[in-house]
Structure 1
Amino acid sequence: MSVQPPARLGALARFCGVGALGFAVDSSLLLGLMPVLGSTWGRVVSLLGSMTLTWVLNRSFTFDHRPRVQSRLGEWGAYCLLMGVGALVNFAVYWAYMRWTPQPSFAALVGVALGSGAGLCVNFVSARFLLQRVAGEAPVEPA
């Protein structure tokens, strides 16, 4: 007899796994964009890229029990709006760390890691409990 973890723990584990992939994309994009856009604008673009990836993956794997909304663009917009709160926390921690650290390349990765950790809880709660309401759906619990 196997013991299944509660559905919320499974969703949190999947959310963290998707977040780890988002972190990899965020960091990679930032390091590639810093020479062209600098650390601030490079981070804005890298956050949008990672946010889009995590929306697709969370939609497909983390919260796959939810019914789909009519408009993917509307759902992506709602996701970005809600994740934007966590992204602001993320970016604020990143920005503060970058201002206090003299080594931009290495500091950028540490700043991304610190910011990602700071935004994780805000984003999970937003995605888990608010996304469907913002997208105009009734929340559905997993079976």
Structure 2
Amino acid sequence: MTDADVDGEHIRTLLLTFFFRYLPQLFEKGYLYIAQPPLFKITVGREVYYAYSDEQKSQILKTNGKTATIQRYKGLGEMNPEQLWETTMNPQSRIMKKITIENAAEADHVFVMLMGNEVPPRKRFIQTHAKQAMLDI
């Protein structure tokens, strides 16, 4: 489990790469899952909604108007234990993504490309995906 922001995604990629290289049997046996914590808590009156992306947040706000209060979670540490249980740990309500060997191979490939010595593939990747970048500023 990592934070829902871009830093958490980076840490997740590093962990997947480590597991892929040193413990591939975890993938082969289907033991790896990613817990998906929310990025936002949106309160409208007594109703509480959790959004896992900016798009989800926009949709909730569009439906519920301007009376909403938004809390952006900068990390898991900003949640109290009850919120963490409700959103990320409770088997009845959590969102889990199973990681396959293909996911790990892709993460390893991207890691090597972005952190490797060859500049042209990294430059092409950045130019191709620049508009999709999630900048956490």
TM-score, normalisation: structure 2: 0.31
The structure with more strand, counted as a fraction of residues = 2
TM-score, normalisation: structure 1: 0.30
Q: Which has the higher contact order (CA 8 A, sep 6+)?
A: 2
Bigger Rg, which one: 2
The structure with more helix, counted as a fraction of residues = 1
